[in-house]
Structure 1
Amino acid sequence: MPSDSVSRPVPGIEISLAAQTLTLFSADSFSISYPVSTALNGPGERQSSGCTPRGKHYVRAMLGDGFPVNTVFIARRPTGEVYSPELARQFPDRDWILSRILWLCGLEWGKNRGPGVDSFRRFIYIHGTPDSEPMGVPRSHGCIRMRNADVVDLYRRVTPGTPVLIR
């Protein structure tokens, strides 16, 4: 078999709900895995379900470039705050979205794109979370949570359009 026909992973991200990991594959066979935390409510695509949607997605938008690690975002906008334990005590019920946001868009009509199931309209992100939050345990409201250092590292390795498979 000619060497140019060797099967290589397609550059992109694969998220395993069962293993609670995110793996980034590159075109040159490099891969790196990070622990994540997906939805406490498990997998699912329905609007307002609090579940992590499955299937083929892509990174539609990336937010947070140039902001400090632990920058707090609300509605995709930096609040001017930097997360700290003191801030957490002030706002104990906040769902913290920190450091960087990779906003996902579904590619499968009727499954994760379109009325009632649209990942983009559900505001499904890969984002940072307080480092005190456990990884490897489903705890989110539907998003894919990562350690702040990990999401910053991932952010610098991908671009908008990067394929994402959630399985």
Structure 2
Amino acid sequence: MHDLDLLHISLADQCLYGFSAGQLKLRLPVSTALKGAGEQQGSFCTPRGLHRVEQKIGADLPCGAVLKGRKWTGEVWTPQLHEECPGRDWILTRILWLAGCEPALNQGGEVDSQQRYIYLHGTPDCEPMGVPRSHGCVRLRNTDILQLYPRVPLHCAVQIAEAACPQWAAAELN
């Protein structure tokens, strides 16, 4: 079912656009870093530039599965669990782990996206989408990451840009 060959994440739009052979196939709301764009280790910013999906984690896990260190804790997110763990950075359901493709921008040294553990991942339904709130990752609704995950092959290109998605692409799904 891998039908997407490029994901474009717009920090301005707070949207993920999925393309296949240049055609827009998918648009999903996301939440990127509260601290904005940036590549530096420890910045809690979302890195810009060209990336690729280096690993896919959680294929057989239930919706809402809580992941820590890329492993399932055995927990499934609930509002009650959320209340019991205030301040927890929830990584849920699936992970698409990104690796930077641009040396000195998002690959290598203090700017390495993979070493920064930059993911696309599910988040609690009570967290807003379309608003920057993450610690650097790209958050999606659990239902959206479940929809996206099987459509994205390993090494799929992921462009993260500050600019809005081009108007021609945004208009295609309207």
Distance 1:120 1:30 in 2: 27
Amino-acid identity (%): 53
Q: Name the counterpart of 1:155.
A: 149
Q: Name the counterpart of 2:18.
A: 24
The match for 2:126 among 123, 129, 132 is 132
3-state SS of paired residue (1:126): strand
Q: Name the counterpart of 1:7.
A: none
Q: CA deviation at 1:165?
A: 0.2
The match for 1:39 among 30, 33, 36 is 33
| Cα separation, partners in 2 of 1:26 and 1:92, compared to 1, 3 Å | same
3-state SS of paired residue (2:23): coil
Q: CA deviation at 1:27?
A: 2.3
Amino acid at match of 1:119: S
3-state SS of paired residue (2:82): helix
Where relative contact order (Cα < 8 A, 6+ residues apart) is larger, the structure is 2
Q: CA deviation at 1:38?
A: 0.1
Distance 2:22 2:47 in 1: 28
Amino acid at match of 2:145: V
Q: Name the counterpart of 1:108.
A: 102
The match for 2:92 among 98, 103, 116 is 98
Distance 2:11 2:26 in 1: 17
Q: How big is each residue's C-alpha offset from its partner over 1:21-73, in whole Å with a ceiling of 9 and x where there is no partner?
A: 00110127241100000000000000000000000000000001011000000
Distance 2:81 2:92 in 1: 13
| Number of residue-to-residue matches in the alignment | 158
Once the two structures are superposed, the pairs formed by residues 8-87 of structure 1 within 5 Å of their partners are: 11-27=5-21, 29-87=23-81
Q: CA deviation at 1:93?
A: 1.5
Distance 1:66 1:130 in 2: 19
Q: Which runs of 5+ in 1 are unaligned?
A: 1-9
